[in-house]
């Protein structure tokens, strides 16, 4: 079989058994990139040379009998809002077009420590704001299943690169669905960990109480492998949880006996595409056949989550993005006469339309006259959404929903209709508001485009999610399909 078609865990085993060299693996993915990247446009920066040097270094260690553990030289792509030392970190914004990160994010240092090879940086919606990657200031990443469709967003580059096998593993970030939704649109596995499970040190902040770094893999085992590498306590992130990380690979069993899975009645309404509903219902049947007990549950406050998310995330974004002022770093306007003009022009010219919209909305809901009416109320609603989930998890091990109400859409289809674009996030944002973990796994195809099944778990129960997702995956064939690009 061709190298690029193989899963990360398969390649790792071959490297371990000395059946293949790291250099060959890295070379195969570089070659794959050179073949498809012209059509796909998933990367913003690639460092082939450094990757090959690193590969040779690891091959030497392996030849001398060293046990590398972890990633064994497997290439990884990184979303361009996660710092990799000496690589650009543009957040797909003109504001940071020439910014080079002076340090490694915690997750990146863990990947390096565990012998992963960083291939480069992946395209995204500017500062993570969007659901289609159309908001990148630099390029439009395509969906590898159909180049006329968007890959989802905001981690569209990461999802498209893994789906097209330009790279076996990738990192993204998920503030309101940006790992799970593009994973669903591109037919790969994507996990958003519990808030606090993975350090945010070195992740450019969007909504600090919502952001988590998440993982992409071509199957559940690959996703679990990368998640295990990046999870754990970091004293440089004050919200990082000091809770031991279980062995996720060990939780990959097909048996779901004793697992209670809830299906919220509120989730199967609204603008859910009919074919998506039937794919989810079929998936429920598979889970039941594997021993799970499926029952209806209720999340009454979930209908407010979209409004709640866009108030809270925009408020936090407006505060986080205040640091881009044209003075300290990033883009600076050429012709400002006064300090105030420098701020205004640098920000007007450096930020894209969607980022400016969020900053304005956020500033508005935090302003003196509207704070109580919008921001404070949104915080209260957030608490009610959390309590809904708490009640459900007293009874259930996991909750199921679609990842997205639709399959991948056309370019320009929703970019002019902001509400339509925002509503795509209906199933993913409640999870970030509650701080819970959730995974998206492929569960079918409609018109040759993938559908994603979202499995939501209780706090720090990622192992449960991997168990259920793996059980489902091993009973279906979706993870074996590769787009013909
Ligand atoms: N699509 C959502 C937004 O635009 C989520 C983004 C994200 O998770 N980074 O805010």
Distance 422 CA to ligand 1 centre (A): 8
Query: Which element (helix H / strand E) includes 451?
Result: strand 449-457
310 part of a folded domain:
no
| Residue 178 annotated among the catalytic residues of the structure | yes
382 part of a folded domain:
no
Using 70 as the pLDDT threshold, list the residues of the chain that sit under it: 269-270
Residue ranges making up the domain that contains 433 = 3-258+397-480
Per-residue pLDDT, 270: 65
Per-residue pLDDT, 271: 73
Which is catalytic among the residues 54, 79, 114, 142?
A: 79
DSSP secondary structure of 34-54: HHHHHHH--EEEE-HHHHHHH
| Residue 158 annotated among the catalytic residues of the structure | no
126 within ligand 1 shell (Cβ under 6 A)? no
244 part of a folded domain:
yes
268 part of a folded domain:
no
Segment 25-73, tens digit of pLDDT: 999 999 999 999 999 999 999 999 999 999 999 999 999 999 998 999 9
347 part of a folded domain:
no
175 within ligand 1 shell (Cβ under 6 A)? yes
264 part of a folded domain:
no
Q: Which of 80, 131, 355, 423 to mutate to test the pocket of ligand 1 (most atoms within 8 A of CB)?
A: 131
Please enumerate in sequence order all residues whose Cβ is within 8 A of that of 325, keeping only pairs 6 or more positions apart, or say none: 342, 343, 346, 347
Contact between 431 and 210 (Cβ < 8 Å): no
Residue 212, CA distances (Å) to 64, 196, 428, 437 in order: 38, 8, 13, 10
41 part of a folded domain:
yes
Query: What's the pTM?
Result: 0.98
176 within ligand 1 shell (Cβ under 6 A)? yes
135 within ligand 1 shell (Cβ under 6 A)? no
Per-residue pLDDT, 344: 97
381 part of a folded domain:
no
State the total domains in the chain: 1
Which is catalytic among the residues 83, 93, 136, 154?
A: 154
- 119: closest CA among 160, 69, 170? 170
Ligand 1 atom index nearest CA of 432: 8
Per-residue pLDDT, 139: 98
Pick the residue whose CA is nearest to atom 10 on ligand 1: 129
177 within ligand 1 shell (Cβ under 6 A)? yes
**The domain that contains 220 carries what CATH number?**
3.90.1300.10
């Amino acid at each position: 079989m061709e190298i690029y078609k193989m899963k990360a865990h398969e390649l790792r085993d071959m490297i371990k058994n000395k059946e293949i060299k790291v250099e060959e693996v890295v070379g195969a993915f570089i070659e794959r990139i050179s073949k498809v990247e012209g059509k796909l446009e998933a990367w913003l920066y690639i460092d082939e040379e450094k990757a090959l040097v690193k590969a040779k270094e690891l091959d030497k260690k392996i030849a001398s009998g060293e046990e590398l553990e972890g990633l064994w030289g497997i290439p990884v792509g990184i979303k361009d809002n996660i710092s990799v030392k000496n690589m650009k970190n543009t957040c797909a914004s003109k504001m940071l077009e020439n910014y080079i990160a002076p340090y490694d994010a915690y997750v990146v240092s863990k990947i390096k420590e565990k012998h992963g090879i960083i291939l480069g940086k992946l395209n995204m919606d500017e500062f993570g704001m969007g659901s289609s990657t159309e908001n990148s200031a630099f390029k439009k990443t395509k969906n590898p299943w159909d180049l006329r469709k968007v890959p989802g967003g905001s981690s569209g580059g990461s999802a498209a690169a893994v789906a097209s096998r330009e790279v076996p593993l990738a990192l993204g970030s998920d503030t309101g669905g940006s790992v799970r939704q593009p994973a669903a649109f591109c037919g790969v596995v994507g996990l958003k960990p519990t808030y606090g499970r993975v350090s945010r040190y070195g992740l450019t902040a969007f909504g600090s109480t919502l952001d988590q770094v998440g993982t992409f893999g071509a199957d559940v085992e690959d996703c679990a492998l990368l998640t295990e590498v990046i999870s754990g306590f970091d004293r440089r992130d004050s919200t990082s949880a000091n809770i031991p990380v279980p062995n996720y690979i060990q939780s990959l069993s097909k048996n779901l006996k004793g697992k209670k899975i809830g299906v919220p009645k509120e989730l199967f309404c609204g603008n859910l595409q009919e074919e998506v509903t039937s794919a989810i219902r079929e998936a429920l049947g598979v889970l039941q056949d594997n021993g799970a007990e499926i029952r209806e549950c209720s999340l009454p406050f979930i209908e407010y989550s979209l409004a709640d998310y866009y108030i809270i995330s925009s408020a936090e974004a407006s505060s986080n993005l205040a640091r881009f002022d044209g003075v300290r770093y990033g883009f600076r306007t050429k012709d400002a006469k006064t300090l105030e003009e420098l701020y205004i022009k640098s920000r007007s010219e450096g930020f894209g339309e969607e980022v400016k919209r969020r900053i304005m909305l956020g500033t508005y809901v935090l302003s003196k006259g509207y704070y109580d009416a919008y921001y404070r109320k949104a915080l209260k609603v957030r608490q009610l959404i959390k309590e809904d989930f708490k009640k459900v998890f007293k009874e259930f091990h996991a909750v199921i929903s679609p990842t997205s109400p639709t399959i991948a859409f056309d370019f320009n289809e929703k970019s002019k209709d902001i509400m339509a674009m925002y509503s795509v996030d209906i199933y993913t944002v409640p999870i970030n508001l509650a701080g819970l973990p959730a995974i998206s796994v492929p569960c079918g195809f409609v018109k040759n485009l993938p559908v994603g099944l979202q499995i939501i778990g209780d706090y720090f129960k990622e192992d449960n999610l991997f168990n259920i997702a793996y059980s489902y995956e091993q009973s279906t064939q979706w993870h074996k399909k590769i787009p013909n690009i």
